[in-house]
Structure 1
């Protein structure tokens, strides 16, 4: 998948500046697609040149002018075509898993610390995602939201992010328990 598809999907919510997109990516899209602000800005320029996005300049008094991007009809058509393509399985690379796999020949204390850091990060993401979920639901039940919301894609991807991080918490806790148990038994 190209970054441009994630950008176009994000712009379905409406016009946004590059700065806005970076914040949106960090707050919600990051559970399934990572991009630096520099990558976003470069891709926005390419997408505008390709006719997928339109940009307008908003003049500001006390700040630099900003460019606001929106999907063009060509961008909507490209996004439609992307959703019709068969999905390929994603490649999953995780340095922590390589460290855990090598723990028997490595530094178990350092690996445990890395797992604890992952656990803390997963718990922090769950808190952020739950807060975002509460804002999206805005007092409605999940069923009411899903039945009546204009767009449900962001909610469904948020649910995947929550599920993923809850799985990370379970795995980290189990891994730490196993490593602690093995450390307690002399070899």
Structure 2
């Protein structure tokens, strides 16, 4: 999947600056797509050159002017065309931590354990942020009410997937830590 498709998905929420898009990526799209601000800005420039988005400059007092981006009709058509394509194979896991876990018996188990603990902490932090976003999206409604009556349900469905992913990271990490702690205790005992 190209970054542009994720950018267009984010712009479906409405006009946004590059800064706003980077924050939105971090708060919503990040549960399924990661990009650095530099990658995002480069992609916005390419998309503007291709006519998929437009940018307008908003002058600001005591701050630099900002550019607000929005989808053009060609951009909306590109979103529609993208959704008609059959999805590629699901992404494969490419995770450096898992390579380290695979080799921990020949390496530094303490360092690997610290990496797993860091991953669990990060997953918990992201999960808490996703829970806050879920609460904001529901805005007092039940999930069923939201799914039936909301204008757009795609962001909510992807959020649920991101939440499940982070829950699984916590579950696996806690299991791995228990195993490593148990093995360490056996060696000491």
Which TM-score applies when normalising by structure 2?
A: 0.96
Q: Is the counterpart of residue 87 in structure 1 residue 95 in structure 2? A: no
Separation in structure 2 between the aligned mates of residue 121 and residue 61 of structure 1, nearest angstrom: 37
2:34 match: secondary structure: coil
2:54 match: secondary structure: strand
Count of aligned residue pairs for this structure pair: 187
Runs of 5+ unmatched residues, structure 2: none
2:12 match: secondary structure: helix
Which TM-score applies when normalising by structure 1?
A: 0.97
CA positional deviation for 1:64: 1.0
Provide, for residues 57-96 of structure 1, a one-character-per-residue CA deviation record: whole Å limited to 9, x for no partner. 1111111111111101111111111111111121321011
Structure 1 vs Structure 2 CA RMSD: 1.1
Superposed structure 1 runs of 4+ greater than 6 Å apart: none
Q: Which residue of 1 aligns with 2:17?
A: 17
Q: Which residue of 2 aligns with 1:158?
A: 159
Runs of 5+ unmatched residues, structure 1: none
144-153 or 84-93, which moves further after superposition? 84-93
CA positional deviation for 1:143: 0.3
Separation in structure 2 between the aligned mates of residue 55 and residue 121 of structure 1, nearest angstrom: 35
